Amino acid sequence: MKGYNLRDGVEITSKIPNIEENSRLLVICNPSELYDMLDVFNWDKDTVDECANLDEKVRFTNYDGYDFVSMIYAESEGEVLTQREVNLYFSDKYLTLVLPESPGASLSKLTDRLWAATEAARSRPFPLSYLYYTVFDNLASFYSDSLEILETKIEVLSETIELGPSQKQIATVMPLRKMAYTYKKLLRALSYVGDQVLIDEHEFLDASQHRFFRDIDTRLAKLHDFADSLYVMSNDLLNLYDSKASAQMNETVKKLTILTLFFGPPTVIAGIYGMNFMNMPELEWGLGYPIAIGIMVTVSAVIFLILKKKKWL
C-alpha cells in the first residue's frame, strides 16, 4: 500500500488516517489490503469482495459518498493477451486505486506515473480530479499503443500472405483476430465507464474539469472504433489467405494441365503403336521410329507455340 496526503504533501507509510472534511488522500493498494481500510472509508463490502476476484465485469456504480469503478485492462505479453482488473474508489476526499498483486508492465507504469503526478496535483485547485483524470488518460494511452502494435502485426502478416500463403500464417491469424475482438469488447465497456464519469451524479468534479473528461470519453470512443477496424482487418486476413490459397491452387492445377497437354499427344501415339495389331504397315517402315519421335516433338512444339501466343506460359 502507498498513500499520499495531498493536503499536507506527506507520504502515508502506515495506517490510513480518518477521513475528514478537508481530506485529500491518494491510496494505491492491492485487493487484499482493502479489508484493513474498510473501517476508515466505509465502503460497501461487496465492492471489496469484487476487487479480490477477476470477474471480467466492467461497471460504474454510485454509492453513498463515493463512486466505484471496476475496469478490465488487457495487456499483450508476447502472443498472449493478459487481462487484469483495475478498480477505483473516488470521492471529493480520496482516490483509491486498486491493482492486482501482479500488475504487469503497463499498470506498474501507471502506478509510477500517478505517484509522480502527486506534486503537480497539489498545485491544482482540484487535485483528486487531476489524478482521477491521470488514471484514465494513461489507460487510454496504453490501449492506443497496444492497438498500434496490433495494427503493425496485422499489416506485416497481410504483406506476408500476399507473397505466398502457408499453414503457419493461419496459426498466426487466429490469435490476432481474437486479440482484436478482446480489445474491441473491453474498450466498448470502458467507453460506457467514460460516459458515466461525465454524468457525475455526485458532482465530485468541478464544471471546469468536465472538458478534460469529455476528451477522455471521445478518445475511448475512437479507440473502440480503432479496435473494431482492427477486428475487421483481421477477418480480412482470413479472406485474403483463402483467396491467395485458391489462386495458388489454381496456378498449380494450370501447370499440371499444361504438363498434361505436352505429354498427351506422345502418349496417344505411343499407345496406338503399342497395340500390336497384325496389319500395321508403319511397324515395318525402316524410318518408323524416328518419324514417330519427330511427330511427337512436332506436336509438342506446336502446342508450346500456341500456349506461348495466348500468354498461358
Is the model's pLDDT at 211 over the cut of 80? yes
> Do 40 and 53 touch, CB atoms closer than 8 A?
no
Is the model's pLDDT at 52 over the cut of 90? no
Q: Identify which of 205-219, 250-264, 295-309 has the greatest average pLDDT.
A: 205-219
Rounded to the nearest 5°, which phi and psi values hold at 277?
-70, 155
Q: In what order do the strands lie in the sheet containing 10-12?
A: 10-12, 2-5, 25-29, 94-98, 80-90, 66-77, 59-63
Q: What integer best gives the mean pLDDT of the chain?
A: 87
* pLDDT score of 207: 87
What confidence tens digit (pLDDT) does each residue in 219-264 have? Answer: 999 999 999 999 999 888 877 767 766 666 666 777 777 777 777 7
End-to-end CA distance of the chain: 73
Higher-confidence residue: 151 or 254?
151
* pLDDT score of 305: 83
* pLDDT score of 245: 64
> Do 147 and 183 touch, CB atoms closer than 8 A?
yes
What confidence tens digit (pLDDT) does each residue in 260-289 have? Answer: 777 777 888 888 777 777 777 777 777 778
Is the model's pLDDT at 27 over the cut of 90? yes
* pLDDT score of 120: 93
DSSP 8-class letter at 53:
S
Q: How far is residue 180 from each of residues 75, 177, 183, 223, measured CA to CA in Å?
A: 12, 5, 5, 12
Is the model's pLDDT at 93 over the cut of 80? yes
* pLDDT score of 278: 72
Confidence of residue 313 (pLDDT cuts 50, 70, 90): low
Which domains, ranges and CATH numbers included, belong to the chain?
Answer: 2-246 (3.30.460.20), 250-309 (1.20.58.340)
> Do 99 and 111 touch, CB atoms closer than 8 A?
yes
Angle at 186 between CA 73 and CA 139, to 5 degrees: 40
* pLDDT score of 310: 75
* pLDDT score of 261: 74
Q: Which three cell numbers stand for residue 260?
A: 498434361
Cβ density class 145-174: b for 16+ within 10 Å, e for less: ebbeebbebbeebbeebeeebeeebeebbe
Quickly count: other Cβ atoms within 10 Å of residue 118's Cβ: 18
Q: Which three cell numbers stand for residue 180?
A: 482484436
Strands annotated E in the chain: 2-5, 10-12, 25-29, 59-63, 66-77, 80-90, 94-98
What confidence tens digit (pLDDT) does each residue in 187-206 have? Answer: 999 999 999 999 999 999 98
Q: Which three cell numbers stand for residue 249?
A: 491452387
Percent of the chain with pLDDT over 90: 49
Give bridge partners of residue 80 from the DSSP assignment.
77
Is the model's pLDDT at 184 over the cut of 90? yes
